[in-house]
Amino acid sequence: MMTTSTMSGTLMRSDLKLPNLARVYRGKVRDVYHLNDGRIILVASDRISAFDVVLPRGIPHKGQVLTQLSWHMLKATAHIAPNWAIASPDPNVVIGHECSTVKVEMVVRGFLAGHAWRTYKEGKRVLCGATMPDGMKENDRFPRPILTPSTKADEGHDEDISPVDIIAHGLCTKEEWETMCRYALALFAEGSRIAAERGLLLVDTKYEFGRTKDGRILLIDEVHTPDSSRYFYADGYADRQASGERQKQLSKEFVREWLIANDFMGKEGQQVPEMDDAFVQSVTDRYTELFERLTGERLEAAPTSDINGRIQAALSAYLAG
């Protein structure tokens, strides 16, 4: 596995000079450049967020992992669902078709974990219109994957919503909903197959979709990355479930767990704990391990002395050519 020093440069904010630039949007992790010709340039920074808070230290090579893993998965699943991606001229960049975002996140769950488990533990058996069987325990596999959509908030927290309310509120048409359902479940099945071949279990994930100007639904944003997905190690899963042990995860969840252990959950008045070099390195290592497991390729660390300059040069050459 690639090793890297936490003293390496990180990209906390890109500042690109691009021709025909219409506007720039900066999310918690990505900087999105909209061009006048209908393309968008998605730059994954090394920022990391949890509990809707961007943490003060960047994670070396995180943006590279997110981009290259997502690019790999977009190509690997293009036969399952059409997507927005056109090219990846730099390890931190994907260029694609601009779409108007459908304000619904398609969350697919194969196991009773995370938010689904917290809901289940409260005695509820319906989540976002999906029924969860009685008699399950945390991290059990569902008989079949369930869809638990949420609203995609521009600011603040996403909210659970049922398919009936999605249609009633006009977030998408019935036909669009059925298309997104079909794509999301098929993508999850393929993602689960890929993960299983690499000794992992795809626990849950989210997919985002957009509309093209001619009304087509495309898969957008990132796919099957540690920021959007939760994975368990397959080896020992059944034994751990039988004995009531915690499952070994390979996802961003361990960052949230570390923050909780250090008394931070994003609530007012709470102080973000300091991330020391050892912890930052462990995050880089986890992200790298997931990339290498899922792709079967070694992550070649991109130069970090001037990441913004490197991206600028790559984009200038691509857009000129």
Confidence of residue 100 (pLDDT cuts 50, 70, 90): very high
Closest CA to 292 of 198, 188, 196: 198
Do residues 200 and 293 touch, judged by C-beta distance below 8 A? yes
SS3 314: helix
Determine the pLDDT at residue 2.
42
Cα 241 from Cα 86, distance rounded (Å): 42
Per-residue pLDDT averaged across 182-208, rounded? 98
Confidence of residue 223 (pLDDT cuts 50, 70, 90): very high
Determine the pLDDT at residue 156.
57
Per-residue pLDDT averaged across 93-113, rounded? 97
Sequence letter at residue 9: G
- Tell me the helices (H) and strands (E) count for the chain, helix number first: 8, 16
Do residues 161 and 124 touch, judged by C-beta distance below 8 A? no
pLDDT at 55 over 90: yes
CA torsion through residues 145, 94, 44, 267, sign: negative
pLDDT at 8 over 70: no
| Percent of the chain topping pLDDT 90 | 88
| Percent of the chain topping pLDDT 70 | 96
Determine the pLDDT at residue 152.
76
Report the predicted TM-score, pTM, of the whole model to 2 decimal places. 0.93
Do residues 139 and 232 touch, judged by C-beta distance below 8 A? yes
Confidence of residue 51 (pLDDT cuts 50, 70, 90): confident
Two tokens, residue 61:
């090579």
Confidence of residue 321 (pLDDT cuts 50, 70, 90): confident
Confidence of residue 5 (pLDDT cuts 50, 70, 90): very low
Do residues 48 and 54 touch, judged by C-beta distance below 8 A? yes
Instruction: Let me know if 44 is exposed, middle or buried by CB neighbors in 10 A (0-12, 13-18, 19+).
Output: buried
Do residues 46 and 31 touch, judged by C-beta distance below 8 A? no
Q: What DSSP element (H or E) covers 120?
A: helix 114-121
Confidence of residue 3 (pLDDT cuts 50, 70, 90): very low
pLDDT at 122 over 80: yes
pLDDT at 225 over 90: yes
Give the list of residues 6+ apart from residue 243 with CB closer than 8 angstroms, or none: none
Domains contained in the chain, CATH given: 21-99+257-320 (3.30.200.20), 101-243 (3.30.470.20)
Q: For 19-28, write each residue's pLDDT tens digit.
A: 999 999 999 9
E strands present in the chain: 21-26, 30-35, 39-44, 49-50, 53-54, 85-90, 93-97, 100-101, 104-111, 126-127, 130-131, 141-147, 150-151, 200-211, 217-220, 229-233
Determine the pLDDT at residue 252.
86
Per-residue pLDDT averaged across 73-91, rounded? 98
Determine the pLDDT at residue 253.
83
Mean pLDDT of the chain: 94
pLDDT at 155 over 90: no
Q: What DSSP element (H or E) covers 312?
A: helix 307-320
Cα 167 from Cα 181, distance rounded (Å): 13
Determine the pLDDT at residue 6.
35
pLDDT at 135 over 80: yes
Q: For 263-294, write each residue's pLDDT tens digit.
A: 999 888 999 999 999 999 999 999 999 999 99
